[in-house]
Amino acid sequence: MKRRELLRGVFALSAAGVLNGCREKTDHDDSHREPKNPAILKVVLQGPFAVVLKRKDERYSVSAFIPPDPAHQFRFLTPMNVVEKPAPKYHFTLGTEGLDLSERRPYLDHGLDDMYFHLGEYPAPDYFVSIDLPGPDLMTFIPPSEPVVFVDGRLAFAPLNHVLEYKIRDVSKVLLTSEQLPEQHPLAFSEIFKRYQEHFDREKEYKDKPGHGPQFPNTKGELGRPAEPQVYTYFFGVGVAPGMLPDADAVQHGLNFFNKKLVPLFPNSKDLKPLSEIRDYGYPCTPAGKAAPARVKPSVLRQSMQRPRLLFVTAVEDCRTPGLVGG
């Protein structure tokens, strides 16, 4: 019996030593390990921004800008925060400190392919809002895209927003600076979701006008979705104020802005063309029905033709004006 008790004690001591050794090693490793999912910064550009990807000295950067238009207003940080216009221009710079940057080329969501252009050399743009940013890890958007047709007949899907994502090393050091507005640390995603919800709840104020575009449920889902990493954001929104334009005028404004304000910014681009149409969401092609031979038809409405269903979209979800991406 004594021998058995002695062996039992030896095994107990050995097991305790193994467990303690593992615990000490794990504690030591955790204190030096990078977080499994680092914090994420999302820069949301809502509106017809020209987003230009640049490369210099093996590093990528982004310039995003939007030309002035008297019908547009600027919303900053949250969709509820309309910036008045004491300054004719607003320029921002996102610093590199606090971000975990890579020298790799940013990954571009393939949903941006239709609106990616080789821009060529272009003069310094006239802008209303401009942001200089370091190269992100990812460039994407909040769906759905808007069907558009270029003057050469090409059908494309045009996102109405851009989202640039970065990994954060130290959120306390992430800073956005501007000569026109105070410097700003990013907001927690939970805060911008709260502000978006306040904006969505005001839809009844738009009476018989649809207050939000089809990005509404996806934006709400994107902002409200629980995320394992901590998520922070900067929001920039440029567009027409809610309830300002009737449906047909909103579409025409979108065409005019893209063709007369965005396209002329890049005179040396060989593949950037004006738009001939902005179509309804969900109906990019010929309406479903009995098959008929292909033929040319006049682009005017007749009484016998089904009238298009045009949607109005707010400043936060823009005024039917797509932006573009280029390099």
**Predicted confidence (pLDDT) per residue in 77-99, tens digit:** 987 788 987 788 999 999 999 99
Give residue 282's pLDDT band: very low, low, confident or very high (50, 70, 90): low
pLDDT attached to residue 220: 55
Distances (CA, A) of 7 to 12, 15, 19, 21, 136: 9, 12, 19, 21, 61
Please provide the average confidence, as pLDDT, over all residues in the chain: 76
The pLDDT-based confidence of 137 (bands split at 50, 70, 90) is: very high
Q: Kindly state the percentage of the chain with pLDDT values over 70.
A: 64
Starting at the earlier edge strand, list the strands of the sheet with 116-117.
Answer: 116-117, 324-326, 50-56, 59-66, 129-134, 90-94, 176-178
Query: What does each C-alpha distance from 215 to 46, 142, 160, 318 come to in angstroms?
Result: 11, 7, 9, 10
Q: What is the pLDDT of residues 142-167, one digit of tens each?
A: 888 889 999 999 999 999 899 999 99
- Separation of alpha carbons 78 and 93, rounded Å: 18
| Tens-digit pLDDT profile for residues 170-198 | 999 999 999 999 999 999 877 766 666 66
Res. 13: pLDDT tops 60: no
Q: What is the pLDDT of residue 38?
A: 75
Q: How far apart are CA 205 and CA 224, in angstroms?
A: 23
What's the token pair of residue 279? 């179509």
At 237, the amino acid letter reads G
The pLDDT of 21-44, averaged and rounded, is 59
